[in-house]
Amino acid sequence: MQRSDYDSPWKEIIEQFFPEFIAFFFPHIYNDIDWSRGYEFLDKELQKIVRDSQTGRKRVDKLVKVWRKNGEETWIGIHVEVQGQYERDFAQRMFQYNTLLYNHYQRRIVSLAILSDDRPDWRPDSFGYDLWGCKIQLDFPAVKLLDYKEKETELERDDNPFAVVVLAHLQAQATTPASAQRRDAKFRLVRRLYKRGYNRRRILELFRFIDWIMNLTAELEADFQTAITKYEEAHNMQYVTAIERKGIEQGIEQGMEQSMRDAILDVLTLRFEEVPAELPAQLDKITDITRLKELHKWAVVEPSLEAFLTRL
């Protein structure tokens, strides 16, 4: 099974472990947040705000409302973007989203970027212009995951779940689904989850991320499952049952299908501004990922919305 959508697993793992995410990548921000007041994801409302705008690609990964320790009544929205490939206008898009969100909420918005691509020299962290005394500037914290390649020993000792997340990402980036090296690395990462003494929920969530991002061919996946089962039996610690593993795999497939449906709607909305109200329901009925990929292709190339609809 081929999987190249790294956005979906990242979105899920950030939502499951948001405080740990901030602590790992942005400790100075973590220390200034009053976690006792909780935090709130604003993704549902955000989808409408972004879709109604004219900013190009209509997606923001996460928007989270938090409170600071200084007791201010105001709150700060944290916009988190995970970028998996080079994009020429990425910094400009970060600026556009920051401005869009500020205009809507009338609150200070902190934009954060996780750069998960494989280009060492691509490090966008600002956008602005200066003309005739009018100056606009957005500087945003950006973390490059490639920088952790030289810190793998430190990551292996770090108890933060995002140490495992980064290790899995780097291994996925360096290997292929048909690689025995990926199979062995996947086994070591899952075994490390057990050795660290994580609770069952944490193990299941991290297992799901690892399983998605480090997908294997059917033969190597069978080898991996056999090795994990033997390890669990030998240590009497079967945290992830065979039934749960099947459920995780089914959930991954469903996530891929929904991501493709969303991509189709985004392309059509971008090209033709409005889509029929019944179209999302029509796409929901299509569960064949190959068919959805074909429709995505037609959404990009068909000259009109009417022409695309004839493909359904």
| The two three-digit tokens of residue 90, written as one number | 């990425």
Lowest mean pLDDT segment, chosen from 66-80, 159-173, 268-282? 66-80
pLDDT of residue 250: 58
Mean pLDDT within 60-69: 81
pLDDT of residue 6: 52
Mean pLDDT within 79-95: 80
pLDDT of residue 246: 56
Say which residue, 67 or 256, is predicted with more confidence: 67
Residues 241, 215: Cα–Cα separation, whole Å = 18
Mean pLDDT within 259-277: 82
pLDDT of residue 78: 74
Q: Contact, 60 vs 97, CB < 8 A?
A: yes
* Domain boundary, last residue among 146, 180, 213: 146
Question: Residue with structure tokens 């996460």?
Answer: 62
**Is 273 in a helix, a strand, or coil?**
coil
Say how many domains are in the chain: 2
pLDDT of residue 155: 93
Q: Which conformational region is residue 141 in: left (phi greater than 0), alpha (psi within -120 to 50 degrees), or beta? A: beta
Say which residue, 299 or 239, is predicted with more confidence: 299
Residue 124 C-alpha from the chain's centroid: 18
In a domain, 230, yes or no: no
Q: Binning pLDDT at 50, 70 and 90, where does residue 59 land?
A: very low
Helix or strand (DSSP H, E) at 113? strand 109-115
pLDDT of residue 56: 44
Tens of pLDDT along 40-51? 888 776 666 666
Distances (CA, A) of 208 to 43, 164, 169: 21, 12, 13
DSSP designation for 159 = -
| The two three-digit tokens of residue 86, written as one number | 């080079």
Residues 111, 32: Cα–Cα separation, whole Å = 16
In a domain, 154, yes or no: no
Mean pLDDT within 174-203: 89
In a domain, 207, yes or no: no
In a domain, 289, yes or no: yes
Mean pLDDT within 193-212: 85
pLDDT of residue 51: 61
In a domain, 137, yes or no: yes
Check whether residue 11 and residue 142 sit in a common domain.
yes
CB neighbour list of residue 242: distance below 8 Å, 6 or more residues apart: 225, 229
In a domain, 187, yes or no: no
Could you tell me the residue range of the domain that residue 40 belongs to?
A: 7-146
* Domain boundary, last residue among 121, 146, 171: 146
* Domain boundary, last residue among 90, 117, 146: 146
**Is 62 in a helix, a strand, or coil?**
strand
Residues 167, 128: Cα–Cα separation, whole Å = 34
Q: Binning pLDDT at 50, 70 and 90, where does residue 219 land?
A: very high
How many angstroms separate the most distant Cα atoms in the chain?
A: 72
Residues 23, 76: Cα–Cα separation, whole Å = 17
| Cα-Cα-Cα-Cα dihedral sign, residues 307, 256, 42, 115 | negative
- Position 188 pLDDT exceeds 60: yes
Choose among 295, 213, 297: nearest CA to 255.
213
Mean pLDDT within 287-303: 81
In a domain, 12, yes or no: yes
Rg (CA), the chain: 21
Lowest mean pLDDT segment, chosen from 27-36, 208-217, 227-236? 227-236
Residues 22, 29: Cα–Cα separation, whole Å = 7
Q: Binning pLDDT at 50, 70 and 90, where does residue 53 land?
A: low
In a domain, 14, yes or no: yes
pLDDT of residue 52: 56
| The two three-digit tokens of residue 262, written as one number | 């969303």
Alpha helices by DSSP H, 148-241: 152-157, 161-174, 180-195, 200-213, 218-235
pLDDT of residue 162: 96
Tens of pLDDT along 100-116? 889 988 888 899 989 88
